[in-house]
Amino acid sequence: MVMAEMLGIPHATIIMQVEIKEGAVRVKRELEDGWFQSLEMPLPALLTIQSGINKLRYATLMGIKKAKTKEVRRLPATDLGPPGRAAVSLDRVYLPQRKKETRMLTGAPAETAAKLVDILKFEVRVI
């Protein structure tokens, strides 16, 4: 979802029903407390589907053998991405720097817990 947001691609989660229209998709998504929402969005779009929307199909042995010999088409990066928008470019690849930093928190349990919450919220930004 984050990648779709960064690329400006329409996206929706917890989809219960999908209806494809010309150049668009109409979806029904589940909200809280048994509520549902219907949306229509242009294609291409990223959808996360709720389990149970379709019956599972298991691959047969014959299907697996045919898939092994099937040709894989390769497309250049310029052919990917939404029409009318710039293709995605890779600026750099790098490994994050590893650093070990241990910080001891002291004090009463309630005080220490409050410090830990502050660190997680404002420094690490995980909550």
Model pLDDT for residues 24-50, shown as the tens digit of each residue = 999 999 888 889 999 999 988 999 988
CA distance 49 to 46: 10
From 33-42, 70-79, 118-127, the region with the lowest mean pLDDT: 70-79
Q: Any idea where the domains of the chain sit in the sequence? A: 1-53
Yes or no: say if 19 and 25 are a contact pair by the CB < 8 Å rule: yes
Q: pLDDT averaged over the chain?
A: 85
Work out the burial of residue 72: count CB atoms within 10 Å of its CB; fewer than 13 is exposed, 13-18 middle, 19 or more buried: exposed
Torsion, Cα 121 122 125 126, to 10 degrees, reads -20
pTM of the model: 0.46
What pLDDT score was predicted for residue 84?
61
Model confidence band, residue 123 (pLDDT cutoffs 50, 70, 90): confident
Beta bridge partners of 46: 11
When pLDDT is averaged across residues 93-99 and rounded to a whole number, the result is 81
Indicate the range of 2-6, 78-82, 114-118 predicted with least confidence.
Answer: 78-82
- Class of the CATH domain delimited by 1-53: mainly beta
d(CA 114, CA 112): 5
